[in-house]
Copies of this chain bind each other. A is one copy, B any other.
């Protein structure tokens, strides 16, 4: 993949998706002010309510964005993958805590310096704006997934979002004759928080979908999507958009897998 051929002078992954469009000079300025941070699973990157002093860009790993409810339960409002930007621009109300779901490496930009750079570099401001638009879309997609009343249907929607939106994040393990094999990057408990339910119901939903023939569970973290159409039907997605792309992806992978089967 061409994204690996970055100059050694770039300590951070500033060529990643979110900053793909910014000018080389802006990218250089970003690289100059970047510090690398690492977090182990479960570590807290940013506390709820506290305003972070840096803007982050994920290099690898997964962060969960969550809110602690009054009764102590936690609800996950979104996952952040490699390339995603997080941290409040303009000290916006950062009402969510951010925790590492896996081993995570992030680029941290000092917020004040980032904002200063943004004012002088319209291309960066544009990139941030586009990133926001993208996040807004993802949030609304989530809302649609959550609008399903049956847990199994929400889970189906989760699978499709995972496969279609996060294809480039190492979650697609390949695809055999049975279908697309993907990796579930978070625990059942986190998945339950994400889908607004309990781990037991998540487990039942997994096995329900397996009994229906829509998926196959290889192990708790690896499953095969056997019938994308059926999953899309359940998820209520109008499908035309998401699924066609997935179909193409499967076809492409079948014709000539880059890694050789």
State which of B70, B90, B140, B147 has its C-beta within 8 Å of the C-beta of A130: B90
A248 at the interface (CB under 8 A from B): no
B68–A238 touching, CB < 8 Å: yes
A77–B239 touching, CB < 8 Å: no
Bound Cα distance from A139 to B77, whole angstroms = 10
A128 at the interface (CB under 8 A from B): yes
Given known A133-B92, A238-B69, A239-B70, contact A147–B144 (CB-CB < 8 A): no
Which residues of the other chain, B, contact A128 by a CB distance below 8 angstroms? 129
A232 at the interface (CB under 8 A from B): yes
CB-CB nearest in chain B for A69: B236
Bound Cα distance from A236 to B148, whole angstroms = 21
What number of A residues sit within 8 Å (CB to CB) of B?
47
Which residues of the other chain, B, contact A96 by a CB distance below 8 angstroms? 140
A236–B139 touching, CB < 8 Å: no
A32 at the interface (CB under 8 A from B): no
B144–A143 touching, CB < 8 Å: no
State which of B126, B139, B196 has its C-beta within 8 Å of the C-beta of A140: B139
CB-CB nearest in chain B for A129: B129
Q: Return 20 A-B CB contacts under 8 Å, by A number.
A: A68-B238, A70-B232, A70-B238, A71-B236, A73-B236, A75-B144, A77-B143, A89-B133, A92-B130, A92-B133, A92-B134, A95-B241, A96-B140, A122-B122, A129-B132, A136-B136, A136-B139, A139-B143, A143-B146, A147-B196
